[in-house]
Structure 1
Amino acid sequence: MAMDTRDTPLLQTEPIAIPQTKQQAKQAAKDIAFGSIAGVAGKFVEYPFDTVKVRLQSQPDHLPLRYTGPLDCFRQSLRRDGFFGLYRGISAPLFGAALETSSLFFSYRIAQDILQATLLPSTEPLPLTALIGCGAMSGAFTSLLLTPIELIKCKMQVPLEAHSSHPRPRPLTLIASIYRHHGLIGFWHGQMGTLIREMGGSAAWFGGYESVTAAFKSMRQQGQATMEDDASLPIYQQMFAGAIAGMSYNFLFYPADTIKSRMQTEEVGNLVGRERRTFLFVGRALWAQHGLKGMYRGCGITCLRSAPSSALIFSIYEGLKKAFP
């Protein structure tokens, strides 16, 4: 997927460098636009499942648990809030999905271009290990943009207690409350969990997609010797590769996301005047009380929703690239 615009000699003149810069800027704009569209479409598919996941992850430490599993959480949520209650707080995640997916594709391409320019000749493709590294760098960059959005999302998704007399807060109310109690840095509460999840998850996401795509292309080339390396795959193969990528992203680093959700669903004012609980502290407490099972609570439904969502994201992104070269 690396962009190859360096077919000119190494000693380039200024008139040649200008068109390259314009081409790179044009490609960056496409990455942002196509990634945003794909991310928003994928979010509509996955959001109800994500709401259930967050509610499962953020259950209180004491037993008995509020939900016995994903299906029970679905039933209780539908009974209490109705179907559209599963989409509560989607406005911030839609913006977040556009921002996340566009920044992932954009920074993934930039990382590839940097490695291509510094490590390998322009005509030699990057190996899979380098692409996995590019995915990790892309995830690290994206995590900084994503944490504040996920903080608001998680607080919106958690249901109110039955005895609560307070109205459900709106996103702007939550933003004002977080800033008032914790300042600007408060919006990055849970950043360590997002960083681990995004770095590892994005490496697995792009690595999974690239490896499955390469396997399909290799199979096609064995029976079609004239096939070009950059020829696009059939839609069902793109979607299968995207589905594998989505499940890899979520499963491998799911405990980091569980800890992050626990941190981000705390009441905003609970820790005023005291030191906020760290990623390591929350992780140790969760492990001591629920073990490995608690770390992976809600993982099944997360992987289930990530398969169609990720398949849709990659197929839309690749389709837009093909339609608007």
Structure 2
Amino acid sequence: MAAKEAEAAVVLPLRSTTQTKSSAMDAIEDILYGSLAGIIGKYIEYPFDTVKVRLQSQPDHLPLRYTGPLDCFRQSIKADGFLGLYRGISAPLFGAAAETSCLFFFERMGREAVYSSGFCPRDRLLPLPALWFTGAFSGAFTSVVLTPIELVKCKIQVPMGSGAAGAKPPQAPSIMSVIRDVYKHEGLKGFWHGQMGTFLRESGGCAAWFGAKETTTKMFHLLNQRAAKSQTEKDALATEALPLWQQAVAGASAGMSYNFLFFPADTVKSRMQTSPVGGTRQNRTFMQEGRALWHQHGLRGLYRGCGITVLRSAPSSAFIFIVYDGLKRHFPL
């Protein structure tokens, strides 16, 4: 009985729907602060993302051009210099702003949906399973916005024909040239080529992203309150933000969970979106591309580039959550 009372007394300052603030202000904060956090995170992770896409998109009918992430870094810097790893970053910066703002916006909409369903009273914080659901809800809707942006990004990061051994790399395509080529040969629907992969990655990955972050945050709050020496100190901890290092660990755990659990879907998506536009080969479906990769390289091929992706996601997601939560806490609109 005493244990239940102690557990009930624990108040966790997880992000929740604010009753005193209008929905419009919440939406503006999600868009503005989410965009800023996404841009900062993208600058940190982009060189690693370029390497990841190049590792994922190596043709299955040719010998592998890169033996691993370090070799890809070495060859890329030798060919284009370090700034070459930032090639095409303007589209991803826009994409990062759109993605992160959409993630936080739709995650809040998911919370509203859960509250409106009567699953949880509005005066109580959502349980962790509901927060994993709101993450999946957010990722599913965000995937529709994100697929065209990712398609343009991938085609810029891996120019057509760059995989041929010994061939001179072609001039990097511009954003507008990629958009024109896709629209000319495949029409408007061509921009959503790879949507299934993005949907699987975002819906599953964002469930893990938000869920892991909130789970780790809850764990730290419980540990901090149990270590408190007085009730006054426990009450203070209930309303304070976590120490910065604990916020960073929670954000890093989110990014690593997101990228590792659904990485095969991202690999298949990247291969679909880096296929030549207007070629004689008909675009493969998600299942066709996945089967071809599995038959050629097995499970290892589906996780090609995973290590570098999980590594770069830790600091990136940590910064995203620290910046977003900090702005929401200290600069409410």
TM-score by length of 2: 0.89
1:119-198 → structure 2 map (5 Å cutoff)? 119=118, 120-159=120-159, 160=162, 163=167, 167-198=171-202
Q: Secondary structure at the match of 2:33?
A: helix
Structure 1, unaligned runs of 5 or more: 6-19
Which residue does the alignment assign to 1:239? 248
Separation in 2, partners of 1:163, 1:275: 24
* CA distance, structure 2, for counterparts of residue 2 and residue 111 of structure 1: 11
Alignment-mate amino acid for residue 232 of structure 1: A
Query: Contact 1:2–1:113 (CA<8 Å) still a contact in 2?
Result: no
The 2-side partners of 1:193 and 1:283 are apart by: 10
Do 1:148 and 1:187's aligned partners in 2 also have CA atoms closer than 8 Å? yes
1:318 aligned partner: 325
Superposition deviation, residue 230 in structure 1? 4.2
Distance (Å, rounded) in 2 between the aligned partners of 1:78 and 1:168 = 15
Q: Offset of 1:229 from its aligned partner?
A: 3.7
- Distance, in Å, in 2 between the alignment partners of 1:308 and 1:276 is 35
The answer to whether the 8 A contact 2:138-2:206 is kept is: yes
1:24 alignment partner in structure 2: 23
> How many residue pairs were aligned?
308
Residue 225 of structure 1 deviates from its aligned partner by 2.6
In 2, Cα distance between equivalents of 1:186 and 1:220: 51
Measured in 2, the distance between the counterparts of 1:118 and 1:228 equals 31
Q: Structure 1 residue 166: deviation in Å?
A: 5.2
Retained in 2: the 8 A contact 1:50–1:302? yes
1:254 paired with 2:263, answer yes
| Distance in 1 between residues matched to 2:169 and 2:56, nearest whole Å | 24
Worse-matched range after superposition: 247-256 or 122-131 = 122-131
Structure 1 position 44 matched with structure 2 position 48: no
Unaligned runs of 5+ in 2: 1-14
The aligned counterpart of 1:15 is none
Q: Could you say what secondary structure the match of 1:125 adopts?
A: coil
Which residue identity does 2:99 align to in structure 1?
A: E
How far apart in 2 are the matches of 1:281 and 1:171? Answer: 28
Residue of 282, 285, 291 corresponding to 2:289: 282
Q: Of 13, 17, 22, which residue of structure 2 is paired with 1:3?
A: 17
CA distance in 2, matches of 1:129, 1:250: 20
Could you say which residue in structure 2 is the equivalent of 1:305? 312
1:168 shift after superposition: 2.6
Question: What is the SS of the residue equivalent to 1:153?
Answer: helix
Contact 2:33 2:101 (8 Å CA) reproduced: yes
Mapped to 2, the partners of 1:228 and 1:70 lie a distance apart of 42
Does structure 1 conserve the Cα–Cα contact (< 8 Å) formed by 2:260 and 2:310? Answer: yes
Sort the Cα spacing of 1:54 and 1:166 in 2 relative to 1 into closer, same or farther, 3 A.
closer
Listed one character per residue, the Cα deviations across residues 28-62 of structure 1 (whole Å, up to 9, x for unaligned) are 10111000000000000000000000000000102
Identical residues among aligned pairs (%):
60
Distance 2:305 2:98 in 1: 25
